[in-house]
Amino acid sequence: MEVGGISAPGSVNQNLQLNKFKLGERLLIEIIHKTSEGEGTIRTRGQTMLALIETSTKAGEKFWARVASLNEGGLLLVREPLPGKPGEVSAPQQFQALTERGLPNNPEIIALLKSFPAAKMGVLSSLLGSMPGSLLTDELLKNLRKAIPQWNSLAEENGVDKLLASLKKLGLNYEQRLQQMLKLDHPAKEIEKNSLKDTFKGRLLEAIQRQEDQGFSDSDSPLAGLLQKITGQQLWFKTGAMDNAYMLLHFLLFDQERFVPVQIAIESARKGLKMDEEHCRIAVLVETEELGELGIDAFFTEDSLSCRVLSHDLSDLPQLLDMVIPETRKRFAQMGFTLGNVEVGELEQNLEFQKFLLGSRRSGVDISR
């Protein structure tokens, strides 16, 4: 992978001799320098070289890696599993992203996992646009609208809490709550049961059950497809392998009664059972009415933040950013972050960003010539 504009020490060897490396070869890697964008330098075999580095590594860290790919543009080193942690299962290339994220190799689950990230319009809007009105009843539509937050509400201080509440209303923790419900006493159990029925997934399951009771059982029906999308979202909600954590979200926002599809991918090292919020990468893709698809690739390192804004049309983007960056810096400063470098780029040319939103992991280090 070509890497440009990397800030690295002057001793970096720009003439990397790839013919000295062999596929499958095991190498000891030392992280020398790493920027908030995940770019930096590594040392192996006495050579210091430019590299793209995974989010879970830190400067000064040493680990063993194997040469997984080798071509004229560079080579890919994949980190070996840490001692005492389960190794990654070898899988065909089409399942590689799922394996790297710690997801199960089950045919039915794989079908849901593979189809969900590729859904261009997110978890719901791709089906809502063409679904017959008789299938999406007033009750279901009303329940769905209750679960979708307003765009401007997320800009408030409790915006994250509102988003999490929206995901719960959709029923993303439906099965988890069912399991916890079994431990409750009878009065509390009935209250929780009614609350589960009021989630969008609960209403959707009831609608599908009514269809089946009436003799209409079709796994390819729009309602069944909608259920599969929600289940796929549940599977991608909290994933990751070893010391790496990953989350993929597709959801809708309301903006003046218009559905706005949003995709978010978050990757970080693990901090106990949670994600390390101070060392993470967050990618956002949103479909705007005036600018079309707009991507933001952000890297958080402790109290600093740098990002790249991506669009299909860069003609007006720099001027728009100049207008909003001062207020954006103030907003992040209030949250304890210093907004550093802000770049712009072509969305369609940033393939690594697009793959990240599909669940692919930047695994180990990717060395450039």
The reply to whether 74 and 112 lie within a common domain is: no
Whether 87 and 108 map to the same domain: the answer is no
Quick check: is 69 in a domain? yes
- If asked whether residues 221 and 154 sit together in one domain, one would say yes
Alpha helices by DSSP H, listed for the chain, are 96-100, 107-115, 125-128, 138-147, 159-170, 174-181, 186-197, 200-213, 222-237, 317-334, 351-357
Domain extent at residue 84: 18-91
What total of structural domains would you count in the chain?
2
Contact yes or no for 287/259 (Cβ under 8 A): no
- Does residue 44 fall inside a structural domain? yes
Helix (H) or strand (E) holding 26: strand 26-34
* 299, part of any domain: no
CB 352 within 8 A of CB 316: no
- pLDDT tens over the chain, length 369 residues: 222 222 223 333 445 566 677 777 777 888 888 876 667 888 887 778 888 776 567 787 877 777 777 766 667 777 765 443 433 333 334 445 555 555 655 666 667 667 777 665 444 554 455 455 445 667 787 888 888 888 877 776 777 888 888 889 989 888 888 888 888 998 999 999 999 999 999 999 988 888 887 877 666 677 888 888 888 888 888 777 667 788 888 888 888 778 888 999 998 887 777 888 888 899 999 988 888 899 999 998 888 889 999 999 888 899 999 999 999 999 889 888 899 889 999 999 888 899 899 887 654 444 443
Q: State whether 111 and 197 are in the same domain.
A: yes
Report the alpha-carbon distance of residue 96 to residue 100 in Å, rounded.
6
Q: Do 184 and 176 meet the contact criterion of CB atoms below 8 Å apart?
A: no
Handedness of CA 232, 238, 241, 246 (dihedral sign): positive
Residue 349's φ and ψ, nearest 5 degrees, are: -90, -15
Q: Quick one: 42 and 163 in the same domain?
A: no
Q: Which of 149, 143, 142 is nearest to 166 (CA)?
A: 149
- Model pLDDT, residue 235: 83
The dihedrals phi and psi of 74, each to the nearest 5 degrees, come to 155, -165
Confidence (pLDDT) at 5:
25
Lookup: tokens for 216: 């209409």
The residue among 238, 257, 290 that closes a domain is 238
Any domain includes 314: no
The tokens for 312 are 């299909």
Q: Is residue 255 part of a domain?
A: no
> Are 138 and 213 in the same domain?
yes
Domain boundary among 218, 238, 258: 238
CA torsion 161-164-169-175 (nearest 10°) is -140
Looking at residue 282, its pLDDT comes to: 92
Domain assignment present for residue 202? The answer is yes
> Tokens standing for 13?
């060897």
Residues 204 and 132 in one domain: yes
Residue 10 lies in a domain: no
**Phi (first) and psi of residue 52, to 5 degrees:** -95, 130
Query: Quick one: pLDDT at residue 92?
Result: 39
Residue 143 phi/psi, 5-degree rounding, is -65, -40
* Residue 40: per-residue pLDDT: 81
Smallest Cα–Cα separation from 111: which of 252, 223, 224, 229? 229
User: Which of 238, 268, 288 delimits the end of a domain?
Assistant: 238
Rg of the chain on CA atoms, in Å: 23
27 shares its domain with 61: yes
**Domain annotation covers residue 108:** yes
* Whether residues 121 and 212 fall in one domain: yes
pLDDT for res 108: 65
pLDDT value for 64: 76
Stated as kind and residue range, the H or E segment containing 253 is strand 244-255
Pairing of strands 338-346, 244-255: unpaired
Q: Which CATH number do you get for residue 56?
A: 2.40.50.140
pTM reported for the whole predicted model? 0.66
Which string of DSSP letters, residue by residue, matches 144-180? HHHHSPBGGGGGSTTHHHHHHHHHHHHTTTHHHHHHH
